[in-house]
Amino acid sequence: MFLLVGLGNPGKEYENNRHNIGFMAVDAIIRRHNFSPERSRFHGLLSEGRLGSEKVLALKPQTFMNRSGISVSETARFYKIPLENIIVLYDELDLAPGKTKLKTGGGAAGHNGIRSIDQHLGNAYTRLRIGIGHPGDKARVTGHVLGNFAKTDYDWLDKLLDAIAAEAPLLIKDDKSRFLTEVARAMTPPRPAKQKPSTTQPE
């Protein structure tokens, strides 16, 4: 069994925040793969489904970001899910909008949700970092992260969420490089083929 965790803050006022892109990604996976309706368990919203042949739980902690580890650790311990079968999806300031990166372990890099999970479970789980871009000024970071996506952002955001959901089975197969390749391909359509110069002579 695997556990997919999307990080975000609960409540209508936060649902379109950049900080909630982890929630958005998990929602896209739930819809795409017909997971069960969400129910309240372990201080979170929990849904069940399959990706390929594997049973998967999808969790959105409802504890607010900086206490996400409470929900994740309770769920993982109840279902006896090992750390190597946990994949956490969350926003990354230091990646350009629409870019994704995967890694296992490492530091929290200032992300309070990741820091909380590390404190409760350790850090040997997989992280899918989803780029939201940096505002360019440290003083503007909080407003950027907790601000809503702009209307123009949805041009790339909807495409990205669709791609993550479509390729989610590759995360469970541990085919990380192919997952990243396929998502990047979806975000960068192939260039149109160059037209060959005409060989006919002008009249």
Residue 103 belongs to a domain: yes
Residue 145 has what pLDDT?
A: 93
Residue 198 belongs to a domain: no
The pLDDT confidence band at residue 73, using thresholds 50, 70 and 90, is: very high
- Sheet order of strands, 44-51 included: 39-41, 44-51, 54-61, 2-6, 86-92, 126-131, 100-104
Residue 191 has what pLDDT?
A: 65
Residue 202 belongs to a domain: no
Query: Which is more confident, 113 or 202?
Result: 113
Residue 23 belongs to a domain: yes
Q: Are 83 and 111 in contact (CB under 8 A)?
A: no
pLDDT tens digits along 173-198: 878 899 999 999 999 866 666 665 55
Residue 192 belongs to a domain: no
**Domain count of the chain?**
1
48 by Cβ neighbours in 10 Å (0-12 / 13-18 / 19+) ranks as middle
Residue 49 belongs to a domain: yes
Domain at 152, CATH number: 3.40.50.1470
Q: Are 87 and 4 in contact (CB under 8 A)?
A: yes
* pTM attached to this predicted model: 0.90
pLDDT tens digits along 35-58: 999 999 999 999 999 998 999 999
pLDDT tens digits along 128-176: 999 999 988 889 999 999 999 999 999 999 999 999 999 999 999 878 8
Residue 200 has what pLDDT?
A: 53
Residue 201 has what pLDDT?
A: 54
Two tokens, residue 12 = 């209508």
- Residues that are catalytic: 19
Tell whether the model's pLDDT for residue 202 goes beyond 90.
no
pLDDT tens digits along 3-29: 999 999 999 999 999 999 999 999 999
pLDDT tens digits along 91-137: 999 999 999 999 999 888 889 999 999 999 999 999 999 999 998 88
Residue 200 belongs to a domain: no
Residue 44 belongs to a domain: yes
Domain of 67, in residue numbers: 2-187
